[in-house]
Structure 1
Amino acid sequence: MTGRLAGRTAVIVGGGQTPGATTGNGRAVALLFAREGAQVLVVDRDLDSAEETAELVRQEGGTATAHRADITVESDCAAILDAALASLGHIDILHNNVGIVPAGRTEDLPADSWRRGFEVNLTGMWMTCKYLLPHMRERGSGAIVNISSMAGLLAGGETIAYTTSKAAVHSMTRSLALEYAPHGVRVNCVAPGMMDTPMGVDAVARAGGVDRAEVAARRAAMVPMGHQGTSQDVANAALFLASDEAAFITGAILAVDGGFTLRSHHV
């Protein structure tokens, strides 16, 4: 590794992992950031999962601490700041990775599912930013990377709650970028496409009662490059946006999708 985050500290929200699933985006980011020299605080609503990620970092010689927080609870988001300052001393990077996929056509979708989608995908992300941004502003520096989805760049039929909430994440990212640019804080977004991750493949396979390999093959066939991406592709994009290599980039929505959004008009 090249030490692109040497001396930096990073809060990875959603850094745990679904038990028994392939490596997801949050864990991949935590591991890569640590390999590049960052000290990390791994935040997840499942403390055991967060601790597992932190232990993987430590096994590789990195520095990591685990912290439990449910980002839909405002007091938990406020406590992330205290935990980060206690374990890291200061905060250079905030990585927001939590998301769910409410599914259903408009006429069938329960209002509670709509609200829950926005609560997790948008409001929780906004609250982590709300409580960590003042610290970054006072320091005059910082980088925030929000994980969204290519769904936010497309129209959604039976995923209207998901696509709409992700489009809102894009708008929020740009608004935060504009608001905090004068204070030296950059805010960008990664929009993954068809990824071979627990949310992208495992959850779909379980919901449909079909083989995981079948779901993976179907998704791969939809991508112009002919294959799905991986959590490492997302982590690499997040590393770039968090590093000094992106020092003059803010408000960007970076699609990591193998060209999917170049020819698709709905998801």
Structure 2
Amino acid sequence: MADRMKGKVVVVTGAGSSGPGWGNGKAAAALYAREGASVLAVDYRIAAALETAEQIKSEGGKCVAARANVADSADVQAMAAECIRHFGRIDVLHNNVGIVEVGGPVETDEDAWNRVIAVNQSSVYLTCKYVIPHMLEHGSGSIVNIASVAATRWIGFPYLAYSAAKAAILAMTQNMAIQYASQGIRANCVLPGFMDTPLIREPLKETYGGDTGEMIDKRNKQVPTGKMGDGWDTAYAALFLASDEAKYITGTSLVVDGGLTARCA
């Protein structure tokens, strides 16, 4: 155990991987715990949250699993209350929930659009709505929102709803950062690029030709470093922004993409 997050209480939404391996949320939850934090691991699928919690506890860390649909106001209120009940405070809110729908305005049906906006964007509004008051009670807090480089530019295929939601998160984060800067609360974004996580396996397979191996190979070749990142790359960036090492950083976006967007600029 290290101590970069010693004594902190962290809520991680989307803390369960969507398949075998380490997704962004699961890696972040584990890393916060390894650095001394007490973690509330939240996921819509309680089995996934429990898996993350068991992994953390097997390493000697502190973690409680919770189920919540973070696009539902009542669930989010209950999530915040559960964290207070278990740990007494909330120091860090790590918003990791995200779903992917590929398609432009013609291909994306209204139900898919509404679902992506609710899960990826409205969830950030709701979690902040019900967590920030607890941070204000202590006069401190850090919010880390996981957005995407797709929020800033075209990355190879139509991602309309996903891009729109992630772009909104950038604006929301900057708004909150300025509103609460004088009250001890920071808000920042991490913008991952192409990441090799369980989330990409099924939604993007068909877009790249229907073969998972071919999809991974093509995505690796699109990155200047020659290889996609992984959940740990996102997690370490989030850890820095959440920690006191970043006490003078707020309203910023940290790009983690192996040079992808620098080459596209």
> After superposition, where does 1:7-46 map in structure 2 within 5 Å?
7-19=7-19, 21-46=20-45
Counterpart code for 2:183: H
Question: What do you get for the CA RMSD once the two structures are aligned?
Answer: 1.5
Residues 1:54 and 2:53 aligned together: yes
Looking at structure 1, the residues matched to 264 and 76 of structure 2 have their Cα atoms a distance apart, in angstroms, of 36
Flag the 1:129–1:64 CA change in 2: closer, same or farther, 3 A: same
The answer to whether the 8 A contact 1:240-1:246 is kept is yes
TM-score calculated relative to the size of structure 1: 0.95
Secondary structure of the equivalent of 2:203? helix
The answer to whether the 8 A contact 2:208-2:215 is kept is no
Flag the 1:140–1:9 CA change in 2: closer, same or farther, 3 A: same
User: 1:112 matched to which residue of 2?
Assistant: 111
CA positional deviation for 1:6: 0.8
CA positional deviation for 1:205: 2.3
Residues 1:69 and 2:56 aligned together: no
Secondary structure of the equivalent of 1:189? strand
Secondary structure of the equivalent of 2:40? strand
Deviations 1:125-164 (A, max 9, x none): 1100100001111210000100011100114762111111
TM-score calculated relative to the size of structure 2: 0.95
State the number of aligned residues. Answer: 264
Identity of aligned residues (%): 45
User: 2:262 matched to which residue of 1?
Assistant: 262
The answer to whether the 8 A contact 1:194-1:200 is kept is no
The answer to whether the 8 A contact 2:174-2:252 is kept is yes
Counterpart code for 1:203: P
Secondary structure of the equivalent of 1:64? strand
Deviations 1:58-93 (A, max 9, x none): 000001101110011110011111100011111111
Looking at structure 2, the residues matched to 208 and 224 of structure 1 have their Cα atoms a distance apart, in angstroms, of 19
Looking at structure 1, the residues matched to 4 and 16 of structure 2 have their Cα atoms a distance apart, in angstroms, of 23
Gaps of 5+ in 2: none
> After superposition, where does 1:78-93 map in structure 2 within 5 Å?
78-93=77-92
Gaps of 5+ in 1: none
User: 1:250 matched to which residue of 2?
Assistant: 250
Looking at structure 1, the residues matched to 43 and 2 of structure 2 have their Cα atoms a distance apart, in angstroms, of 28
